[in-house]
Structure 1
Amino acid sequence: MSFTYNRTVRFQDTDAAGVVYFANVLGICHEAYEESLEASSINLKDFFTNPSVAFPIVHASVDFLRPMFVGDKLLISLIPQKIGVEKFEITYEVTVAEVVVAKAITRHVCIDASSRSKQELPDEIVQWLETNRRDAEGAERRRSREIM
């Protein structure tokens, strides 16, 4: 199945209208991304402070389908997918009580931290991508059988 992350909306996540501030949805999605890396035994400190390689986000988008409020229990599902030898994309689905409230995408490129030039994804990230993608595809097949 896709990786899932549970999170409660906090007051600090909201704006003056009492709903989650739009930019904070990407922050919440990034929390899920970090948790998925850690669940795959990737050391976060090494991953984010490695002086030789970096994974900047080069594209991000969010579709807001329903508002999210303080106290809402979010379930963030993410599916990473390799889209080239040096890049990957993560799709996120944010639900509250089994209702999809937002969908997001982040696209990441692997670069050499010194030269800032693109480079191939390291093996541990390729493995993370393959494992999470395979798990998500298996869950989708199981769901489609349940519907029949």
Structure 2
Amino acid sequence: MPHSFSLRVYYEDTDLAGIVYYANYMKFIERARSEWVREIGVDQVALKAEAGIVFAVRRLEADYLAPAKFDDMLDVVTEVKDISAARITLTQDVMRGNDVLFKSVVTLVCLGETGRPSRLPADIRQLMQR
């Protein structure tokens, strides 16, 4: 089931041309992922403290299709594409109404305290697959 996160474009998000600076789309999709994880019931602070597990971006594919501008209301739609033992692949689209402005495929890895890949706990995997 897709997750939607709404945000407004502020002046600080734009460049000299008045459009969203390309790197800020990464911030938008990061915020949306954090809210998605929170809303499905995963406490990332507790996960790190109790199990030593964190999520890290391993790979990002990005397509910029149309510009967002100052004061636009945007929605970031996040959907699970695939989950394996230590990897989560998501699609994240930034929309303005029905228009897709930015498309991405994000691969996250689950890392343990040593910084090496770690298995995603089964209960969290189940929450993400709903």
- TM-score, with length taken from structure 1: 0.79
- Residues 29-79 of structure 1 show CA distances to partners (whole Å, capped at 9, x for unaligned) of 011111111111222432466671121111112111100001111011101
User: Which residue is equivalent to 1:41?
Assistant: 41
- The question of whether the paired residues in 2 share the 8 Å contact of 1:26 and 1:104 is answered with no
User: Which residue is equivalent to 1:144?
Assistant: none
| Structure with higher helix content | 1
Say whether 1:128 aligns with 2:121.
no
Give me the CA root mean square deviation.
Answer: 1.8
Distance 1:130 1:49 in 2: 23
Instruction: Report the count of equivalent residues.
Output: 130
Which moves more between the two structures, 44-53 or 72-81?
Answer: 44-53
- Whose Rg is larger? 1
User: Which residue is equivalent to 2:53?
Assistant: 53
Distance 1:105 1:64 in 2: 12
Distance 1:49 1:30 in 2: 21
For the structure 1 residues 83 and 39, does the alpha-carbon distance in structure 2 shift closer, same or farther, using more than 3 Å as the test?
closer
Distance 1:18 1:46 in 2: 40
Where does 1:57-136 land on structure 2 (aligned, <5 Å)?
Answer: 57-114=57-114, 116-131=115-130
